[in-house]
């Protein structure tokens, strides 16, 4: 039943109609503000809704802030349509924050997110090793004294108390309280007789273990504030002393892929393919990788049978399964007691069931893309150090312990 027409013009009816319009405008405004994606997708419509709500309902509550006041202006495309220029303060929109408090976090002690792939963040590193004295104490505790006070004195031949005295020479040593014998935590390590701060040494090791594609000596120089010679020497010692590849054999549980590659720049007017033995611009690299295991990559003078076979016999156990390409160098593997399978790359065949060398090819890709993008060029003399770095990082890809901690423990030996 409809109301009589004269009732629609009464003051009470007008008030009720105005209230219903205000409620409708509020619902449309809140719905548009709660969904920012829709607000962006239909900005013109939402601006009209907000302006209409402000004009018709005179609504400025619920934590909404609008400035400047909605001012009507004519549209360039339509003379009959009126648009309102409205600027919204996102800080004051209660629909987006839903009146909820900030999550309970401590800004002074940030924590690494569980979803982060980082094994040790920069904040955690600085918290654990804030200065040079802390790094020296870590070496002392992990090499000689677990409690920091008592250690085995080689002169007294018994466990005695040790004390560290501050000297003008800044000697990094602890003194035996019984006989006065000095023990140096840095002796026999890459830090021995180095005037560079241990804090900078540890930070350089952290940078080299946290990167995915390598870090150049120039970048270490910029990060540490040292000279280029110091940065290069630090990176050189870390690669050649701490990231040495294991010489032990593979366990033989999974197949081993074997392949060779060449590292070096191409020269004009030279044919593609495997370079000759006396090629001066290419360095031969021989590699082996066990599936779901570790990789070994070494530089070799050439890829002849007399050069390659000793590496295979040293690291691959007899009766193991070996996958290679059609290179004739690997022909005697069956006679040596290995289960040898080939994939013919010359015929554009790269996978035949489980037989392929894609794992080894993937490692070569990491090495070459890293060298080309970070170092640009590597000489034959220092190529083995860079192979050690990439192989070390590849072999510890599934290690739950942080690579930085593993490298520190290697420095103790």
Query: For the domain bounded by 256-264+281-412, which CATH number is listed?
Result: 3.30.420.10
What's the pLDDT band for 24 if we cut at 50, 70, 90?
confident
Cα separation, 302 vs 277, in Å, equals 6
The string over 176-214, giving b where at least 16 C-beta atoms fall within 10 Å of a residue's C-beta and e elsewhere, is beeeebebbbbeebbbeebebbbbbbbbbbbbbbbeeeb
Question: Could you read off the pLDDT of 234-260 as tens digits, one per residue?
Answer: 999 999 999 999 888 998 899 999 999
Average pLDDT over residues 184-195: 92
Which sequence spans correspond to the domains of the chain? 9-97, 256-264+281-412
Cα separation, 293 vs 18, in Å, equals 75
pLDDT at 360: 95
DSSP characters for 94-149?
HHHHTTPPPP---TTS----TT---SS-HHHHHHH--SHHHHHHHHHHHHT-SSSS
Average pLDDT over residues 66-72: 46
Q: What is the pTM of this model?
A: 0.71
Higher pLDDT, 173 or 46: 173
Q: Is the pLDDT of residue 180 over 50?
A: yes
Question: Could you read off the pLDDT of 122-174 as tens digits, one per residue?
Answer: 989 999 999 999 999 999 999 999 998 999 999 999 999 999 888 877 888 99
């Amino acid at each position: 039943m409809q109301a009589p027409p004269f009732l629609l013009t009464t003051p009470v009816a007008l008030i009720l109609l105005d209230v219903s319009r205000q409620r409708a405008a509020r619902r449309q405004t809140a719905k548009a503000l709660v969904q920012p994606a829709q607000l962006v997708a239909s900005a013109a419509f939402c601006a009209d809704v907000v302006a209409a709500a402000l004009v018709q309902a005179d609504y400025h509550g619920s934590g909404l802030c609008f400035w400047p006041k909605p001012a009507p202006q004519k549209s360039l495309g339509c003379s009959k349509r009126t648009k309102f220029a409205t600027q919204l303060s996102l800080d004051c929109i209660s629909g987006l924050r839903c009146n909820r408090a900030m999550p309970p976090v401590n800004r002074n002690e940030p924590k690494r997110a569980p979803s982060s792939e980082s094994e040790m963040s920069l904040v955690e590193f600085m918290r654990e090793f804030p200065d040079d004295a802390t790094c020296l104490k870590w070496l002392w505790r992990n090499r000689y004294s677990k409690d920091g006070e008592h250690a085995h004195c080689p002169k007294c031949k018994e466990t005695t108390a040790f004390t560290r005295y501050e000297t003008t020479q800044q000697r990094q040593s602890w003194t035996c309280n019984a006989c006065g014998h000095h023990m140096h935590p840095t002796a026999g390590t890459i830090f021995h007789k180095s005037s560079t701060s241990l804090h900078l040494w540890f930070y350089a090791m952290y940078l080299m273990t946290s990167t995915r594609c390598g870090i150049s000596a120039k970048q270490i120089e910029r990060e540490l504030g040292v000279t280029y010679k110091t940065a290069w020497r630090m990176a050189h010692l870390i690669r050649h002393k701490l990231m040495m590849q294991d010489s032990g054999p593979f366990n033989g549980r999974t197949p081993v892929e074997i392949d060779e590659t060449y590292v070096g720049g191409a020269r004009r007017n030279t044919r593609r393919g495997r370079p000759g033995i006396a090629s001066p611009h290419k360095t031969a690299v021989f590699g082996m990788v066990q599936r779901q295991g570790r990789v070994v990559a070494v530089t070799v003078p050439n890829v002849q049978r007399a050069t390659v076979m000793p590496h295979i016999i040293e690291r691959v156990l007899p009766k193991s399964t070996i996958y290679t390409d059609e290179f004739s160098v690997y022909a005697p593997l069956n006679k040596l007691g290995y289960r040898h399978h080939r994939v013919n790359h010359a015929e554009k065949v790269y996978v035949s069931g489980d037989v392929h060398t894609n794992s080894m090819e993937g490692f070569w890709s990491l090495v070459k893309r890293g060298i080309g993008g970070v170092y640009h060029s590597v000489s034959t003399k220092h190529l083995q150090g860079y192979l050690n770095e990439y192989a070390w990082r590849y072999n510890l890809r599934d290690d739950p312990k942080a690579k930085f901690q593993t490298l520190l423990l290697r420095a103790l030996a």
